Amino acid sequence: MQSINYKNHKNMKTIIRSTITGGVFTALLISLGACAKDQNDSEFSGYANVINVAADGTTQFLSQNLENVLSDDLVFSETELDILVHMKEEEKLARDVYAALFEKWGILVFSRISQAENNHMNAVIRLLGNYGEDYTQEGEEGNFSIPELQELYSELMMKGFVSIEEAYKTGALIEEMDIKDLTEAIDIVTNENIILVFENLLRGSRNHLRAFNRQLTTLGVTYAPVYISQDEYDQIIASPNESGKRYKMRRHGGRFGQGNLPV
């Protein structure tokens, strides 16, 4: 009978035990990793972007995601109502001017940003939806309920029709005006839905300002801001397009900023 080498037998048992232990430990790590991933995915699925930003900076609200993150608090103070109506008209001003500049010059950036401004206007109208047509109606193209904006529209049209350079400057002027007004409005309003929409309108305006600055830079033109400081303008154009942040959904149906039709 062949004798058993107890030393080798002991070593073999140690190897097997180590292999089994290592395998169990590896499986445990994989299991824990999968659980963590599932937890992260579950947590991530509860959040959604409300804007979509194209490579050229064109910024659109995502209607379903916006709907899913808004709270039920859609009752506003008189001051907030006034601010919302003014911002609705200001977004319409941008839309109408850019649409006219696209017809005049045939440059795609005006068409794309005009569509985005229509989308922005509709996001504001969504907040005003409970207040009836006196607040939600938009009027015909080129017509505004606020006299100051009606006058400004005429001035911007004349300026933008002078040349392509002046058209781009007109776009930059509108966007920096929006930046100033939105920044001031955010400091005044307290309703969380207004703040959410205005913060993303502000991101859109900065993205569109960057888009018009790129066009002016291509022409060798340096733009001098009117409504915001030179330092703020320089900081905006030196930074990349903003895609915004994810918001916690209050309702189901968000698509994380992908695949939703714009407002």
pLDDT in tens, 111-151: 999 999 999 999 999 999 999 999 999 989 999 999 999 99
Superfamily of domain 49-248 in the CATH hierarchy: Ferritin, core subunit, four-helix bundle (1.20.1260.10)
DSSP 146-189: SHHHHHHHHHHHHHHTT-HHHHHHHHHHHHHHHHHHHHHHHTT-
| Residue predicted with more confidence, 252 or 87 | 87
Q: Is the pLDDT of residue 37 over 90?
A: no
Q: Where are the domains of the chain?
A: 1-44, 49-248
Beta strands 51-53 and 59-61 are antiparallel
Structure confidence at residue 19 (pLDDT): 42
pLDDT 10s digits, 17-28: 444 344 444 443
59 forms bridges with which residues in the sheet?
53
- Cα–chain-centroid distance for residue 164? 27
Average pLDDT for the chain: 85
